[in-house]
Amino acid sequence: MDEVAFWVGFNLVPGIGPKRIRLLLDHFGELSRAWEASAWDLSAAGLDTRCIQALQETRAKISLEREMARVERAGATILTWRDAEYPRLLRNIAASPPLLYVRGKILPRDELALAVVGTRKASTYGREVAHLLASEIARCGVTIVSGLARGIDGVAHRAALSVGGRTIAVLGSGVDVIYPSEHRDLAERIIQNGALVSEYPIGAKPEAGNFPARNRIISGLALGTLVVEAGRESGALLTARHALEQGRDVFAVPGSILAAGSRGVNELIRDGAKPVVCADDILQELNLNMVEEFVQARETLPEAGGEALLLQHMAAEPIHVDELARATGMSIADVNSTLVMMELKGLVRHVGSMNYVAVREGRQVYRP
């Protein structure tokens, strides 16, 4: 059985989260070995009695084959800590999810992302501002990340899509369970132009306790978080706190001091969040002014040096980064960083497991 099935299995075990998964990987090397381990070995790895019992009960009642079949039927893929495609920004946060269920596709360019969040009970002002800022930022090639909720989240996703941009929705349910239900059409559009992402298993319901944890993923996928409109009790403020803990920038749109729905966001500004009155305030702060040039560069020739050298050894057949390093004499680090830039330009495409193909149309013109 493929190793990823055991990651899915452990994701179904109550009480075993990122910290304990790391303990198991450090001790056993592979989760397949941990899945089959005895209670004594699990204890030696650092699991307490409660977690060992939970694992034994889960092993007895589930079939990993059936769970993987459910993933396939949902049209989802799995990304784990071990996958090169796992988002780098998210990998670097505390308690990053050991695996992600994804419908759609996360691309390297999605690392250039901004989270846009706010109240579910958005005012006309909040909706207009969210649409204006999210659409202008998405038009510059920045991916918009949000939570598919009513209010500001939905507006932000739609704004990105309206200008042909990419957007990622992080769910507090399984990626096959769309909540709220009126956003099903929106979710389908996001799948075609970004991704639905969740750490919760296929079929997981949108329980209230899921959403606070979900918020750390929203901020973790982005370089910064913009709060458009939020009262003092808004979950958007929790996303902002996660962003601060993750060392990411927090931006906030000022609101009326008389409006209850703006008290939370105004207090964020008072406490140090960067006030925003236009998209350039965010783009300049995050050094994203040049993102549009990457988007426009998709039809350019490769740069001299590393890019051209790599393309000499690439074709329509996949080639692994290790083989490219041996063929070119470049270091693995240089090969990886150069390939990321080349994929942003549309010169190459990652086809999984650290394998890449060249993308060519016409003579000496490279397009995605």
For tokens 């501002």, name the residue: 129
How far is it between the farthest Cα atoms of the chain? Answer: 65
* 38 located within any domain: yes
For residue 58, give the amino acid letter: T
pLDDT digits (tens, 9 = 90+) for 70-84: 999 999 999 999 998
According to the model, what pLDDT value does residue 291 have? 56
CATH code of the domain covering residue 300: 1.10.10.10
Distance from C-alpha of 130 to C-alpha of 170, rounded to nearest angstrom = 18
Q: Listing from the earlier edge strand, what are the strands of the sheet with 348-352?
A: 319-320, 355-358, 348-352
Decide which of 52, 73, 94 is a domain's last residue.
Answer: 73
Chain centre distance of CA 75 = 17
Neighbours of 71 (CB within 10 A): 21
Name the residue range of residue 319's domain.
294-358
Which residue ranges of the chain lie beneath pLDDT 70? Answer: 289-304, 316, 360-368
Distance from C-alpha of 300 to C-alpha of 317, rounded to nearest angstrom = 22
Q: Where are the beta strands (DSSP E) in 42-182?
A: 77-80, 99-104, 113-117, 143-146, 167-170
Distance from C-alpha of 86 to C-alpha of 82, rounded to nearest angstrom = 8
Q: State whether 156 and 257 are in the same domain.
A: yes
* 239 located within any domain: yes
Q: Tokens at residue 138, please?
A: 């998405």
Q: State whether 9 and 139 are in the same domain.
A: no
* 125 located within any domain: yes
Q: State whether 183 and 328 are in the same domain.
A: no
* 81 located within any domain: no
Q: State whether 303 and 347 are in the same domain.
A: yes
According to the model, what pLDDT value does residue 364 have? 29
Number of H-type helices and E-type strands within the chain:
18, 12
CATH code of the domain covering residue 283: 3.40.50.450
Q: State whether 117 and 234 are in the same domain.
A: yes
* 152 located within any domain: yes
Q: State whether 193 and 269 are in the same domain.
A: yes
> 3-class SS at 218?
helix
* 164 located within any domain: yes
Q: State whether 121 and 63 are in the same domain.
A: no
According to the model, what pLDDT value does residue 129 have? 96
pLDDT digits (tens, 9 = 90+) for 322-353: 999 988 899 988 898 898 888 877 788 888 88
Q: State whether 132 and 240 are in the same domain.
A: yes
Do residues 161 and 189 touch, judged by C-beta distance below 8 A?
Answer: yes
Q: State whether 218 and 332 are in the same domain.
A: no
* 80 located within any domain: no
According to the model, what pLDDT value does residue 316 have? 65
According to the model, what pLDDT value does residue 365 have? 27
Q: State whether 252 and 280 are in the same domain.
A: yes
Distance from C-alpha of 48 to C-alpha of 236, rounded to nearest angstrom = 35
According to the model, what pLDDT value does residue 313 have? 84
Q: State whether 281 and 315 are in the same domain.
A: no
Neighbours of 103 (CB within 10 A): 22
Decide which of 289, 314, 347 is a domain's last residue.
Answer: 289
Distance from C-alpha of 2 to C-alpha of 73, rounded to nearest angstrom = 17
pLDDT digits (tens, 9 = 90+) for 291-319: 554 444 443 445 557 888 888 888 767 89
> 3-class SS at 56?
helix
Distances (CA, A) of 100 to 30, 85, 304: 18, 11, 37
Q: State whether 25 and 157 are in the same domain.
A: no
Domains in the chain: how many in total? 3
Decide which of 73, 88, 119 is a domain's last residue.
Answer: 73
